[in-house]
């Protein structure tokens, strides 16, 4: 059974860089029929797709965050990662990683399964 687990600091200072990793078990990030995604959810609010990555390293980003986001993949470690620069309080959220089956639009489809999520707070 595929499982995803987010990891990284729970507290980041304003203007610094948020860095998270997602470790995949029970499956391979090199599987050609899937993308791997990051989604976030401010506490008590809705869901926002951050971006997706393919095993080849191809990336697909939300235009709203594209100028601040880098998603990368490490196939030997079976992990993918998120970096978000110049964070502010507005970036405080639960960050989830998820698997995305390939569809018509590259990097985009439904999300299943999701990791348990990790809360990242931006505060000095």
Partner 1 sequence: DIVMTQSPDSLAVSLGERATINCKSSQSVLYNSNNKNNLAWYQQKAGQSPKLLIYWASTRESGVPDRFSGSGSGTDFTLTISSLQAEDVAVYYCQQSYTSPPTFGQGTKVEIK
The mark string for 9-48 relative to partner 1 (x by CB under 8 A, - otherwise) is: -------------------------------------xxx
For residue 23, the minimal CB distance to partner 1 (Å) is 15
Asked if residue 81 lies in contact with residue 72, where contact means CB atoms within 8 angstroms, the answer is: yes
Binding positions for partner 1, 50-79, rule CB under 8 A: 60, 62-64
Please identify which residue in 115, 119, 123, 124 interacts with partner 1, judged by CB under 8 A. 115
Please tell me the distance from the alpha carbon of residue 8 to that of residue 83, in angstroms, as a whole number.
Answer: 11
For residue 14, the minimal CB distance to partner 1 (Å) is 25
- Please state, as a whole number, how many other Cβ atoms lie within 10 Å of the Cβ of residue 117: 18
Is position 111 an interface residue for partner 1 (rule: CB under 8 A)?
A: yes
Contact residues: partner 1, CB under 8 A: 46-49, 60, 62-64, 96, 103-117
């Amino acid at each position: 059974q595929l499982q995803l687990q987010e990891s990284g600091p729970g507290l980041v200072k304003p203007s610094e860089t948020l860095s998270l990793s997602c470790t995949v078990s029970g499956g391979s990030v090199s599987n050609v029929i899937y993308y791997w995604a990051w989604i976030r959810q401010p506490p008590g609010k809705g869901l926002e797709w951050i971006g997706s990555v393919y095993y080849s390293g191809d990336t697909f980003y939300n235009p709203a965050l594209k100028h601040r986001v880098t998603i990368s993949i490490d196939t030997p470690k079976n992990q993918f990662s998120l970096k978000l620069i110049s964070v502010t309080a507005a970036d405080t959220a639960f960050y989830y990683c998820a698997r995305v089956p390939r569809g018509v639009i590259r990097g985009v489809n439904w999300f299943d399964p999701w990791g348990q999520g990790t809360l990242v707070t931006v505060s000095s």
